[in-house]
A and B are shown apart, each in its own frame.
Chain A
Amino acid sequence: MTRDELGQALRAIVGPRGVLSRASELLPLSADGLPTYRLPPSLAVLPSTREQVIDVVRVLARERVAFVPRGAGTGLSAGALATDDAVIIGLNRLTRIISIDPVNRLALVEPGAVNVSLTRAAAAYGLYYAPDPSSQTACTIGGNVAENSGGPHCLKYGVTLNHVVAVTVLLPNGDIVTLGGAEGETPGYDLLGAFVGSEGCFGIALDITVRLVPNPQAVRTMLADFMSIEAGARATSAVIASGILPAAIEMMDGPTIRAVEASIYAAGYPADAEAVLLIELDGLEAGIDDEVRRVQTMCTEAGARTVRIARDDTERARLWQGRKKAFGAMGRVAPALVVQDAVIPRTRLPDVLHTIHEIAARWNIQVCNVFHAGDGNLHPNIAFDPHDADATDRVHHAMREIMRACVDAGGTITGEHGVGLDKLEYMPLIFSPESLDAQCRLRSVFDPERRANPGKVVPIHACREWLASPAARALTR
């Protein structure tokens, strides 16, 4: 089947407006927010119903065509881009929240349902969906499942993995399986756990059952500001070690604070500070103010100049807006922004942040740190001009050194964005050949032909057994 014939076959399923094949209309699908990767696809299909998704995948299976499932394209790891002439299957037309069961605190949604729309729908029952990536106004639940997404409040409430109870999966060969289950325990291997975070390599989620949590009785949001990033890191370590488990501990460094304060998202952060911590405590009303005082004391002892407690919901929302829109605000600094996602042991925050600062100075680049300090999940952002070849080269060198420093500190290369294409080269830093090969073995169970999101997550040379298989030989011929 030629590419044109394939397009015709897909149009027969989804209608003429559901297939994109012109370069101009495919342009928005060529990136995912990381400026360093741009891979225009040659064909994309946008099904509107579950049945259409199934029919599309079965045609692609029959024709042995590779595909890339894509949600909102906010992943920041180049995971939702088409390599090897793969067809993009855009799932963001399947947006339904199918049902909410307030008694059992469960919701059944389609993969393209937007994260925040679920929380809005659940609000009527005093419930919400806990994982809250900064992109939550755009990102989809299906994308969250693929990436095992986090967010500021995952410190206390856990990541996507801890909130998904069942997924109906369309395997790359067109078979449909249900992994996990809402109605009691599921015997057998934890295939649901294996699927969450598989970055679109194991199949497509047709529907997803997630757990909802009740709105906390009380919420307190506070902002502590420091004259050094190390002092903020010390305060974070002190709070974590104390046993108080805040809903979130977010840190922004001086360059980030100044970018936010100069933008339309100005949140009232002290512009001369070198670090602010945004700390949120939630839970029962009883005892929460006592915890606020203890956290306040720990921040002051670590060197905080002031600790401000939001008086009402308006002030609270404003403090959070600065954090959630920090990436947008950095657009003021330079035309492009690369963001990393390493995680380090929390006691290593002060020294690793210091090392990142040194690396940035050595390569003469500007790093803005805005991150989930409570989890040790760093997001060093480097603002640069992608048309400046020298600057781009220095950014790449600095990124590699930063990643190496995080791994050397006992950390990992990604906490919530996924490996995608962007972090493939770092996988051998943290996994031995045997460990990478074991991941390949799992992938081959779900997708023996390697047609689902090919070329992502595990470097192909690490897949020893698969490379020797007839399927691999057929592909490389």
Chain B
Amino acid sequence: MTADTAVRARATHDVADAVKDAAARRTPLRIVGRGHWLDAGAPASPATPLALDALSGIVAYTPGDLTLTVRAGTTLSDIAALTAEHGQWLALDPFGTDDGTIGATIATASAGPLAHAFGTPRDAALGLEVVTGDGSIVRTGGRVVKNVAGFDLTRLFTGSWGTLGVITEVTVRLRARPDVDETWVVALADDDAIGGACRAALGAAAAPIALELVDAPLAAALGLGKSPVMLLRLAGAAAAMRAQRDALRALGAAAVGPPDVWQRLRAAEPPGSTVLRLSHLPDRIADTWQVAGRLPSAWRHATPSRGIVRVIMKDSGDTVATVARAADGRCTLIAERAPAAFWLAGPTPMPNAPLAARIRAAFDPAGILNPGLAPDSAPPPATEPTDA
């Protein structure tokens, strides 16, 4: 089987036509935004690329409503530039760069450090336009900030990795940009100090919009010194800042950090890295951090309030799969990107696989949308693995 000519959609009906055509011919489609997430390294069968990068631009923006509707191929940087003109922002900072698209961010439910205060894409998405696997154009949710009309397909499509439908338009909730936005770096003695530092920081009289742990090697790579650090992002009105700064100083040696540290953290992983997320209850963060520390040549950072440790491995041989699976008994493992060997070691167990399979069949009956990608639990097709 060879991939047909790529389709570059400029309008929703282009997507619907391409999906209908593919469904009729049962040829799989690989949905591509700016090409950053693609396939998470999973061995994917050859598929025709359906490119959405040209399906971009604003559909509706009334700043006073604090909502924004854009086409799915619009980049996060374009959204940031537009909303900044009105003192607003979309408070999502998925790992990678702002060159990624909003459609891919929603489709992969990717979240970054700001999820500490503002939640993940499921909390920001208000409505979607989606082309399902039969070519139907479906609207979910709406353009208002509160909405319980009908079953919640917005949540279903968010994080479905394009396996239930192609997201063509997104409406999100915006927030007002804070007057002050500053980042503090608190140096920690060593890994043993992490549990106590997290408890102290989460109980402090401060309301950071991001609170992230960074291990010593990653801190060094980011130019933040030689010890593990805690990064705290304080934001708000100027009058509220002084007391919060005082509360941070009580945590330890706190200093103002470089403002671009978040961009650097988000883009820290070298190309081709293996990236895994380990998670458990927030009060188990020290244990999860320790489990992650056993993975080879790894950098670690964590969002303690969400109980998530993110592990970046530069050398990812076959051992990664073995070690990662060993960690699995103590916390939930999610692979953002892993070598083919990891995926071929067996399908990652998915909760509620029978329900998930029925949902997949209901929305993509021909099985043509991003086959083989998480969270599609179907085993990879029996073709040669490629580096698609």
A and B from one complex: yes
Which A positions have Cβ atoms within 8 angstroms of B? Answer: 103-104, 147-148, 150, 154, 158-159, 161-162, 177-179, 181-194, 196-198, 201, 217, 237, 240-245, 283-288, 290-291, 343-347, 372, 375-377, 410-419, 423, 427, 430-432, 434-439, 441-446, 457-458
Q: Which residues of B contact A436 (CB under 8 A)?
A: 150
Whether A345 pairs with B67 at a CB distance below 8 angstroms is yes
Whether B122 pairs with A286 at a CB distance below 8 angstroms is no
B242 beta carbon closer than 8 Å to chain A:
yes
Chain B 160-193 interface 0/1 with A at a Cβ cutoff of 8 Å (1 = within): 1000100000000001111000000000000000
12 extra interface residue pairs, beta carbon distance < 8 Å, beyond A187-B374, A243-B87, A375-B146: A161-B152, A187-B348, A190-B122, A191-B355, A198-B151, A245-B175, A284-B205, A286-B242, A344-B144, A345-B143, A410-B144, A432-B138
Chain B 239-264 interface 0/1 with A at a Cβ cutoff of 8 Å (1 = within): 11111100000000000000000000
Whether A434 pairs with B136 at a CB distance below 8 angstroms is yes
Whether B240 pairs with A188 at a CB distance below 8 angstroms is no
How far is B280's CA from A376's CA once the two chains are assembled, in angstroms? 37
Whether A285 pairs with B243 at a CB distance below 8 angstroms is yes
CB distance from B208 to the nearest CB of A (A): 11
Whether B142 pairs with A430 at a CB distance below 8 angstroms is yes
Q: Which residues of A contact B66 (CB under 8 A)?
A: 240-241, 346
The 5 closest A-B pairs by CB, nearest first: A243-B176, A193-B155, A287-B240, A184-B279, A286-B243
B277 beta carbon closer than 8 Å to chain A:
yes
B123 beta carbon closer than 8 Å to chain A:
yes
Whether B144 pairs with A159 at a CB distance below 8 angstroms is no
Whether B375 pairs with A154 at a CB distance below 8 angstroms is no
Whether A290 pairs with B237 at a CB distance below 8 angstroms is yes
Chain B stretch 320-374: residues in CB contact (< 8 A) with chain A: 331-332, 334, 348, 350-352, 355-356, 358-359, 362-363, 374
**Known contacts A185-B308, A430-B142, A434-B136, A148 near B283 by CB under 8 Å:** no
B62 beta carbon closer than 8 Å to chain A:
yes
**Known contacts A187-B348, A284-B206, A154 near B146 by CB under 8 Å:** yes
Identify the closest chain B residue to A437 (Cβ).
B136
Whether B281 pairs with A191 at a CB distance below 8 angstroms is no
B1 beta carbon closer than 8 Å to chain A:
no
Whether B149 pairs with A442 at a CB distance below 8 angstroms is no
Whether B283 pairs with A103 at a CB distance below 8 angstroms is yes
B290 beta carbon closer than 8 Å to chain A:
no
How far is B290's CA from A27's CA once the two chains are assembled, in angstroms? 59
A-B contact pairs, 14 of them (CB 8 A): A183-B307, A183-B332, A187-B334, A191-B355, A241-B66, A243-B176, A284-B244, A287-B243, A346-B145, A375-B146, A418-B148, A430-B149, A442-B153, A458-B150
Whether A189 pairs with B281 at a CB distance below 8 angstroms is no
How far is B207's CA from A288's CA once the two chains are assembled, in angstroms? 13
CB distance from B253 to the nearest CB of A (A): 22
CB distance from A336 to the nearest CB of B (A): 24
Identify the closest chain B residue to A409 (Cβ).
B144
Whether B152 pairs with A196 at a CB distance below 8 angstroms is yes
Residue with the greatest number of chain A CB neighbours at <10 A, chosen from B119, B159, B241: B159
**Known contacts A178-B351, A439-B150, A343 near B145 by CB under 8 Å:** yes
Q: Which residues of B contact A161 (CB under 8 A)?
A: 122, 152, 155
Whether A104 pairs with B283 at a CB distance below 8 angstroms is yes
CB distance from A301 to the nearest CB of B (A): 15
Q: Which residues of A contact B374 (CB under 8 A)?
A: 187
Whether A343 pairs with B144 at a CB distance below 8 angstroms is yes
Residue with the greatest number of chain A CB neighbours at <10 A, chosen from B149, B334, B348: B149
Chain B stretch 65-96: residues in CB contact (< 8 A) with chain A: 65-67, 87
B56 beta carbon closer than 8 Å to chain A:
no
Whether A185 pairs with B279 at a CB distance below 8 angstroms is yes
Residue with the greatest number of chain A CB neighbours at <10 A, chosen from B65, B147, B175, B362: B147
Identify the closest chain A residue to B139 (Cβ).
A435
Whether B351 pairs with A416 at a CB distance below 8 angstroms is no
Whether B140 pairs with A162 at a CB distance below 8 angstroms is no
Q: Which residues of A contact B139 (CB under 8 A)?
A: 431-432, 435
Whether A435 pairs with B138 at a CB distance below 8 angstroms is yes
Whether A343 pairs with B146 at a CB distance below 8 angstroms is yes
